[in-house]
A and B are shown apart, each in its own frame.
Chain A
Amino acid sequence: MKISGAEILIESLKREGVRHIFGIPGGVVLNIFDTLYDEKDIKLILTRHEQGAVHAADGYARASGKVGVVIVTSGPGATNTVTGIANAYMDSVPLVVFSGQVPTLLIGNDAFQEADIVGITRPCTKYNYLVKDINDLARIVREAFHIAGTGRPGPVLVDLPRDVSAGRTDFIWTEQVKIRSYNPTLEGNKMMIKKAVEEIAKAKRPVIMAGGGVIISGASKELKELAELTQIPVTMTLMGLGGFPGTYELSMGMLGMHGTYCANMAVQESDLLIGIGVRFDDRVTGRVGAFAPQAKIIHIDIDPTSIRKNVRVDIPIVGDVKHVLRDMLRILREDVKGQREDVRKAWLRQISTWKEERPLRYTYDENVIKPQFVIEKIYEITRGDAIITTEVGQNQMWTAQFYKFDRPRTLLTSGGLGTMGYGFPAAIGAQLACPDRLVIDIAGDGSIQMNIQELATAVVNKLPVKVAILNNQYLGMVRQWQELFFRGRYSYSNLDRVPDFVKVAEAYGAVGMRATKPQEVEPVIRESLKVKDRPVFMDFIIDWKEKVYPMIPAGGALNEMLFEEEKRMR
């Protein structure tokens, strides 16, 4: 029986287990939306901007581990997805984005709402397709999900000309995917793994550096076991937070530009650095030439291009983190059981000395709200059991520092691209994926305005997403850099004046609250948790002078940190 391209698409999505799609209709995708109109098993979440749709699908994917799905129209609908796609690409988030395209015969004619979206997204997708023949559609959908979700995950775009979704053909579904040139390596090289274990046994001052790969491959349990068995302290990258329990004794917190004193010092002094599912981003390494100068480096990653891209590596292991750690643990358990503790004693003592010397701190003030205080309160009240999304900038770094993430997939943040406006739509997606969880976006007044229109999406879908706006009337991180490195010349970083967020929330049918004094913070958070049927904006008027510390100035080494008292170390 012949069915339409639109029906083939929806049937294929069902077979991929898709329950939610994010998107906005438009001219060339009307056939698809018409098919969705009667669809019971798949719900489309209508966002108010295509960027919001992609970030929401991204939040959905990160919170659930499933592939996020987006459908948008051609031209501007498609180009509006680009930031969201680039964001997902940098953070290895599995997405399949379907964009409408003008009919095949019109492609290249500068038709109405035509854009070469396959060309535009080529460098920011894992792969993309232009479906030219309806008979390829089902296979391409199957391949797109396979590519997006396996190996190092990433976004895949499928461009669908109108005549393809409107045409008719037989539906043929093949479960088996065969792409001869795409075979991600899962198992690590046995010899390298053995060598790595030998180095671990020998090391006196080892450090584990865990990244987003631990979370993506679902290897938190294995990582915990490795750290405990070998008594090696663990630091996380921003993307790795939650991959190892932040409240554990062995956790040193985040490293890098705004990392903890302990984590940065430990990396610099280590004799063995074990990078697990990390890509040694410049925000993590500081000045590469001065990074971990005494350490041998073991690097485990599924993406061979991550290895030796930024830092020298002594023992490279290409493979899925979970598989590699499992193999390492097997050898460790058999060969070197239980002898670690005394070997590591001096090193672990040094780690706790660093922790005590300079813990993360801020100066409490009873007259003005400190942003760190807000995050501490959110942590305390939620007992760490919430899905937290962030925007980008100071709000993101304070969250990474002061909220202790114990479980994977509980911090959703734009790490690689650093996309302001990510957190709120991502929270919407996360709430849909996890309806029973508490989802909070920790935002700044600058970032929240970059996708504030999604309030409508959250209200319409009765999503009780909480947004804590750390309102300092500035693009705060920009202002911080200008204060520290541009002699306080605050060039265009002042947002004065920002809208009344309480009124904005109310105008959309959401709840708005405000705290201007420290003693109001807790009541506002508690009150917000009582709202179960709509989003809440909490407007925290914070100390605008507050900065994120410690901080490594651009080009500095990890041990060249600035602290709150603004004295340079060493």
Chain B
Amino acid sequence: MRHTISVLVENKFGVLSRVSGLFSGRGFNIESLSVGETIDPQVSLMTIVTSGDDQIIEQITKQLNKLIDVIKVVDLMGIEHVEREMVLIKVAPKKEDRVEVLKLAEIFRGRIVDSGPTTYTIEVTGDEGKINAFIDIIKPFGIKEFVRTGKVAITREKAKKGSS
């Protein structure tokens, strides 16, 4: 099973290496990892996408918790949350396809962030399915390269009863 795990860590040097070292040292799978500062600059939030059976996921969360620099671990599986990732795609379409590519980008709410004589660089944000779909659809037009951020995730606020 695929799990997205949110890990709140001390914003110190070496922490990323402790976390990634834990995954490699114990043979845990890591599909993506993204990290950034939180509202408190002394704290960073990592979003890790990993997979494994229940026992492995239990070990992963326990092992993460055991690291001294880890403040909090939340397995988002089963918790309402929003996931997003971003991709930057550099496409080099034939001249006659340039308009088509622009249209497709628009359908996916993409933005052109750079354009060269023969290329467009398109930014698309969304969940994994949307990113994959966009890459698939744009592939026939000639992708030069692309780069993905990996997932970031945040829990959804529950709608409170009686609030409008």
Q: Which residues of A contact B (CB under 8 A)?
A: 118-119, 122-123, 126-127, 130, 147, 179-182, 303-305, 307-309
Give the complex CA separation of A118 and B21 in angstroms: 13
Q: Which of B10, B62, B69 contacts A305 (CB 8 A)?
A: B62
Most chain-B Cβ atoms within 10 A of its Cβ — which of A119, A181, A182, A304? Answer: A181
The 8 tightest CB contacts between A and B, nearest first, are A305-B62, A181-B71, A127-B68, A304-B62, A123-B25, A182-B68, A305-B63, A305-B66
| Least Cβ–Cβ distance between B9 and chain A, in angstroms | 8
Contacting residue for B21 out of A122, A147, A304, CB 8 A: A122
Q: Report chain B residues within 8 Å CB of A126.
A: 68
Interface string of B17-60 (1 = CB under 8 A from A): 11001100100000000000000000000000000000100110
Given A119-B17, A123-B21, CB of A147 within 8 Å of CB of B68: yes
The digit string for B69-106, where 1 denotes a CB below 8 A from any CB of A, is 11100000000000000000000000000000000000
Size of chain B's interface in residues, with CB distance under 8 A?
18
* Residue in A closest to B54 when the chains form the complex, CB atoms: A308
Residue in chain B with minimal CB distance to A181:
B71
- Say yes or no for B140: interface residue by CB 8 A criterion: no
* Residues from chain A with Cβ under 8 Å of B58 in the complex: 308
- Whether A303 pairs with B21 at a CB distance below 8 angstroms is no
Contact B59 A309 (CB under 8 A): yes
List chain A residues, Cβ under 8 A from B68: 126-127, 147, 179, 181-182
Q: How far is it, in angstroms, between the C-alpha of A123 and the C-alpha of B63 when the chains are bound?
A: 12
Contact A304 B18, beta carbon cutoff 8 Å:
no
Q: In the assembled complex, how far is the CB of residue A331 from the closest CB belonging to chain B, in whole angstroms?
A: 27
Please name 19 pairs of A and B residues whose Cβ atoms are closer than 8 Å in the assembled complex, sorted by A: A118-B14, A119-B17, A122-B14, A122-B21, A123-B21, A123-B25, A126-B68, A179-B68, A180-B71, A181-B70, A181-B71, A182-B68, A303-B66, A304-B65, A304-B66, A305-B66, A308-B58, A308-B59, A309-B59
Least Cβ–Cβ distance between B57 and chain A, in angstroms: 11
Q: In whole angstroms, what is the CA distance A123 to B22 when docked? A: 7
**Which residues from chain B contact A304 at a C-beta distance below 8 Å?**
62, 65-66
Chain A residues near B63: list those with CB within 8 A.
Answer: 305
Tell which of A118, A122, A126, A305 has the most Cβ of chain B within 10 Å. A305
A349 → chain B, closest Cβ, in Å? 38
- Given the complex of chains A and B, what is the CA–CA distance between A118 and B14 in angstroms? 9
- A285, chain B: closest CB distance, angstroms: 15
Q: Specify which chain A residues have a CB less than 8 angstroms from the CB of B10 in the assembled complex.
A: 181
Q: Which residue of A lies closest to B72 (CB)?
A: A181
Whole-angstrom distance from the CB of B43 to the nearest CB of chain A?
Answer: 10
